[in-house]
Amino acid sequence: MDISAAVDRFLETLAAGGSPHTVRSYGSDLRQLCADLGAFDAESLSETVIREYLRKHGKSPRTRARKLCAVRAFTKFLIEVGVLSGDPSVGIEAPIKRTRLPKDISPEQADALVDAEMGDTPLRDQAVLELLYGAGLRASEVVAANIVDLDLKSRMLKVRGKGRKERIVVFGEPAAEAIERYVDGERADGESVFSGRNGRLSTRTVQRIVERRRGMAGLPADASPHSLRHSFATHLLNGGADLKTVQQLLGHESLGTTQVYTSVSVERLRDVIEKKHPRGK
């Protein structure tokens, strides 16, 4: 099988159950591999070829790890469809990646961001901010939310996260009230909860909503929708929520991901020692 045709077939299969972001990312990396190899049969994919590709294009450990992940998903597909009998990437170790945590903001800063006075702020923008911080959603999950999945009475929303996996999130009364005001006052007809001039809201618009408000709230220039998600989780943990519950609310498959993503503050660790250890005070 020609490698370009194999990549196209793999991406079509991936698109049926994977996230659009993953499809784009894997597609970019694998087409780069195709460009290097030219007219090449997928059966000839070897460990040497993969290592050379990673050496040439992996300028950092993070980039090499991402490209190796794409290649491994591709070789697994080639094995499943009978093109390869073994995995040529199995002997290649992923580079060590330093985990960089997103910055969180304090509860006071989050309140200032959500409550910042902006004159004639659209009801939509206020509802988006309340949901980002009140439910810890990704920007992509906010824009993908559908009106049929929203239950304001029970303050619940069914969202589709990475890999199109569904979960139920809950939110408080401030978010419910903001969303209800928007739905009753500004929302246009359609399946999406949040919409703009051209239909469903884009993630870039969500980013701009945060950007417009962060200056008024005195937040750093790098505060983003992701900062609100990270802060949602960190503030829950600092308030005493258990890690498993936070994992479920964030939609993480692995508890390890949640442990890294929601670094428990030193203040809380110190508080636990002082209260629970006999010689902690």
Instruction: Please give the positions annotated as active site.
Output: 138, 162, 226, 229, 252, 261
Residue 109's alpha-carbon distances to 104, 179, 184, 210, 217, in angstroms, are 10, 21, 29, 13, 7
Residues 50/94, Cβ–Cβ less than 8 Å: no
Residues 79/45, Cβ–Cβ less than 8 Å: no
- For residue 8, the surrounding DSSP H or E stretch is helix 3-15
Rounded Cα distance between 26 and 254, Å, is 22
Burial of 238 (0-12, 13-18, 19+ CB in 10 A): middle
* Single-letter amino acid code for the residue at 11: L
Burial of 270 (0-12, 13-18, 19+ CB in 10 A): exposed
DSSP state, residue 241: -
DSSP string, 117-140: --SS--HHHHHHHHHHHHH---HH
Angle at 26 between CA 1 and CA 100, to 5 degrees: 150
